[in-house]
Amino acid sequence: MGGPTDRYAEHDRAKRALLSAYEALPPGAPVKLAKKTSNLFRFSSSGKPSAPGLDVNSFSEVLSVDPVTRTADVQGMVTYEKLVDATLAHGLMPFVVPQLKTITLGGAVAGLGIESTSFRNGLPHESVLEMEIMTGDGRIVTATADNEHAELFRAFPNSYGTLGYSLRLKIELEPVQPYVELRHLKFDEAEACWAAMAEICAAGEHDGRPVDFIDGTVFGPDEMYLTLARFTDVLPDGTGTVSDYTGMSVYYKSLRERSVDHLTVHDYIWRWDTDWFWCSRAFGVQNPRIRRLWPQRYRRSDVYRKIVAFDRRHQLTARLARLRKQPAQEAVIQDVEVPVTAGPKFMDFFHREIGIEPVWLCPLRLRSGQAWPLYPLEPGELYVNVGFWSTVDLQPGQADGFHNRLIEEAVTAAGGHKSLYSTVHYDQDEFWRLYNGEKYAAVKAAYDGERRLPDLYEKCVRMG
């Protein structure tokens, strides 16, 4: 695309083409997107779409960035990698940038996203000012918090494309400085760690220094770190030295090796992507000999995910395990939110019953002070996202899904919620109770009365 005028003209042409493609589908036929990338962890056994796909590859650009109003107009399929490049050029960044480069803005809003600014900026949808949405009934509407489509605007987060698809979003941005200073605080007890999170998030500072970012990493019941970070425009002693975790060094290992660190703001935003947090170890990429031979451009979360998707489709790891007479394994790939007060008890359960390490912690509080109906966190309450992504051995008599169901029950008992990007095992009544089935049904009827799109339960549970 060329300049802003050309980009908006092309956007209008792409909308007309999309509507024509929708209208060309057989009456009543189910609808889905045809897109190149996904960060969901629900894999089709065939890898083939089950319904006609609408091509949305033309909706992947940043339309404009306004440094005066600190806003960006963005197409729904733009990746955060492209969005961050465009906004950093103006000394700005989105309020929340999920950790993986190929997450799309539309995906983070229709699903959920989180990062270390979420204790002050909430979730990505809370900095959206307006959305242009293609609804399930084939309309393109512009929804805001206070216009005639306000119900759709508020129900869109956590709807996972079952109410419609975002084609354009206008979002707020915040200013950045060139560097980020990180301090890693070590704890040997969960109670102290979670209490410190609550205190620091409430104060927005620690030891007299502002805290712009906070997340945590748990290596075991008696070893965990909170990483407190802040913007800065200078480096210590004027050295100009910053760390680089895109090469041979691995970011999460540095938490144990140093108490203070410095990164460029760009590298801080993407600090987790090079090794997909720590999941690159499953491919041997953290082994120095393999790392030297693995091209740097392929040390990315989307590359690793494609490998996982290929393995899941063809059951290569599972077949090899059976040949070696190893226990069957259950994929336990989840992000859950629990109230900060319930965290130590939840982690005690998790270490005892699940045993995955490391685990990611990320505190969040709704920025708007208002609840969002399909992911009903309590306004004003501090939650902590607990992320874990690995496999667990199944013992004799345990069916696949055993450990995931244990986690769901523990999260509900803690007063929390889980994201729906991965496997879901709730029964239908429980699912709709947790994710506001009454509100969802009303908005679904208003914007997809013929149910051309799957409903949320069908997509997240039955189609998983």
Q: For position 356, what pLDDT does the model report?
A: 97
Q: For position 304, what pLDDT does the model report?
A: 92
b/e per residue 138-172 (b: at least 16 CB within 10 A):
bebbebeeeeebeebbbbbbbbbbbbbbbbbbbbb
Contact 217, 224 (CB under 8 A): yes
Taking 70 as the pLDDT cut, the residues of the chain under it are 1-2, 35-52, 238-240, 464
Going through 136-211 in order, the beta strands assigned E by DSSP cover: 140-143, 164-175, 179-187, 205-206, 209-210
Q: Rounded to an integer, what is the distance from CA 217 to the centroid of its chain?
A: 17
Contact 97, 119 (CB under 8 A): no
Q: For position 39, what pLDDT does the model report?
A: 60
Residue-by-residue DSSP string for 390-438: EEEEPPTTPPTTHHHHHHHHHHHHTT-EE-SSS-----HHHHHHHTTHH
Query: What are the CA-CA distances from residue 55 to residues 15, 33, 161, 289, 364 (Å)?
Result: 11, 6, 14, 41, 34
**Prediction pTM value:** 0.94
DSSP summary character for residue 79: B
Burial class of residue 208 (count of CB atoms within 10 Å of its CB; 0-12, 13-18, 19+): exposed
Alpha-carbon span 166 to 256, nearest angstrom: 41
Contact 136, 163 (CB under 8 A): yes
Q: Rounded to an integer, what is the distance from CA 438 to the centroid of its chain?
A: 25
Q: What is the pLDDT of residues 8-23, one digit of tens each?
A: 999 999 999 999 999 9
Bin 95: left if φ > 0, else alpha if -120 < ψ < 50, else beta. alpha
Q: What is the pLDDT of residues 115-164, one digit of tens each?
A: 999 999 999 999 999 999 999 999 999 999 999 999 999 999 999 999 99
Domain 4-176+446-462 has CATH 3.40.50.150: no
Roughly what angle, to the nearest 10 degrees, separates helices 343-353 and 190-203?
Answer: 140
Q: State whether residue 144 is helix, strand or coil.
A: coil
Tell me the domain boundaries of the chain. 4-176+446-462, 179-271
Q: For position 55, what pLDDT does the model report?
A: 86
Q: For position 48, what pLDDT does the model report?
A: 47
